[in-house]
Amino acid sequence: MNRRLRYLVFGLGAAGLAVLFALALAGLPGFGGDSHPYRDRAVHAALAHRTANVVSSINFDQRALDTFGEELILLGSVVGAAALLRPSRRESERPAPDPEARAVPDSVVLLCTVMLPVTVLVGLDVIAHGHLTPGGGFQGGVVLATGLHLLFLGGRYPALQRIRPLAGYQFAESIGVATFATPGLAGLAAGGAFLANVLPYGQFASLASAGTVPVLSLAVGVAVGGGVVVLLAQFLEQALRYSGER
Amino acid sequence: MQVFAYAVGGWLVLVGAAGIVRSHHLVHTVVSLSVAQAGTYVFLLAVGFQWNAVAPVFSTSADTHRAVVDPVVQALTLTDIVVSATVTALLLALAVQIQKRHGTVDPDELRALKG
């Protein structure tokens, strides 16, 4: 199909979609109105389980099964990317670059060194308080994993490799996914439903509240942190250690 | 004016799709897909918005009667972002693999399947 024909087909499709979308918008409730039936029910259910962050309550309590599926999607994607990016036999390993060759400004190195512990701390905080303040396992896990890569931005890939024993992070990811399933099975045994919130709810807005929500959030944080580190490691290895076909 | 937020979402989806159609580079294609997916985030959040409502996170049990924006669509958006990130990672890995096998990242130059 040549480009002109492709643009024509796309133009027709896009115009049709735009018209249908405009018609659909005309039938929507007004923007910013106060009729949100799902909101009312979700907030009610979250407060019944003494969860201060309603979004976390939906993710890790009311619709925890969906989050479990999402975890498995993440796991599948990491496995898939690792399989796609493994070096082929035709590739040769590039000699390790001279550490002096890649000059990084001292200011960048300083900033990365200062920000590394701060970012890791913020990531842990976001995971630990996911049921109380905005955040949760997904967000905190990504902050943690990207925080570790500040070492790479600071120009010290060998240092990153030292604090990143890949097998450990692969283990962390699998253990995170498995830990997510464990309270789920406990819920099946005690509450009669997979991922039922069976732990005591505790006091509203305190660290030990919301039952299984912080446990699942922690499990997701470990899994996402491990998964993102493993994922980024595949791309970095591919870019830094292997040259193209020779 | 009220439909502006919805329209931005729809426009982003269409612009992202246009980017995919016009793409000459597979990384550009993947980024265009991310733009199209960003349209769904804007649309979902716009659906849940309410004037003068606060974020669906309570700090004390005293303020639980306040109006909040819809947390259900926010949770959906979070799911959306996670899935989008994983899809992006997989597609970029595929782009790397295509560059290795075919020596090109222009979708128009990829003609035949090759083992």
CB contact under 8 A, B89 and A85: no
| Contact between B93 and A84 using a beta-carbon 8 Å cutoff | yes
Residue B113 buriedness (CB in 10 A; 0-12 / 13-18 / 19+)? exposed
Closest Cβ–Cβ partner in A3, A74, A80 for B82: A74
State percent of chain B over pLDDT 90: 38
- Tell whether B115 is within 8 A of chain A (Cβ): no
* Nearest CA-CA partner of B56 in B67, B46, B45: B67
- DSSP percent split of chain A into helix, strand, coil, nearest 5: 65, 5, 30
**Alpha helix (H) ranges present in A27-156?**
37-48, 54-57, 64-85, 106-128, 137-148, 150-153
User: What confidence score (pLDDT) does residue B34 get?
Assistant: 94
- Better pLDDT: A22 or A164: A22
Which residue in the block uniquely carries the two structure tokens 């990143």? A164
What CATH number belongs to B4-53+69-109? 1.10.287.3510
Residue A1 located in a structural domain: no
B31 pLDDT tier (thresholds 50, 70, 90) = very high
Most confident of A92-101, A174-183, B31-40: B31-40
B59 neighbourhood in chain A, CB within 8 Å: 52, 205
Is A30 in CB contact (< 8 Å) with chain B? yes
Nearest to B18 by CA among A159, A219, A13: A13
Q: Which residues of B touch A88 (CB under 8 A)?
A: 100
Whether A114 shows a pLDDT value over 60: the answer reads: yes
Residue B68, strand partner residues: B54
SS3 content of chain B, % helix, strand, coil (to 5): 70, 5, 25
The shortest CB-CB distance from A38 to any of B10, B68, B70 is to B70
Which residue from B56, B78, B92 is facing A138, i.e. has the nearest CB? B78
> Which tokens hold the place of A47?
């407060």
A19 falls within a domain: no
* Of residues A142, A168, A134, the one with CA closest to residue A55: A134
Q: Is A31 on the interface with B (CB under 8 A)?
A: yes
A32 touches chain B (CB under 8 A): yes
Closest Cα in chain B to A227: B86
Q: Which domain holds residue A72?
A: 53-245
Our count of domains for chain A comes to: 1
B24 touches chain A (CB under 8 A): no
3-state secondary structure string across A195-217: CCCCCCCECCCCCCECCCHHHHH
Residue A38 to chain B, least CA–CA distance (Å): 7
The string of pLDDT tens digits covering residues A168-182 is 888 888 888 888 888
- Residue B40 has a pLDDT of 93
Q: In this complex, is the C-beta atom of B10 within 8 Å of any C-beta atom belonging to chain A?
A: yes
Torsion of CA A82, A85, A88, A90, to 10 degrees: -170
Whether residue A192 has pLDDT greater than 80: no
**Is residue A3 included in any domain, yes or no?**
no
Q: Establish if B114 touches chain A: CB-CB under 8 angstroms.
A: no
CA distance A209 to A199: 9
Rg, C-alpha atoms of chain B: 19
Confidence (pLDDT) at B18: 93
pLDDT tens per residue, range A201-210: 777 777 777 7
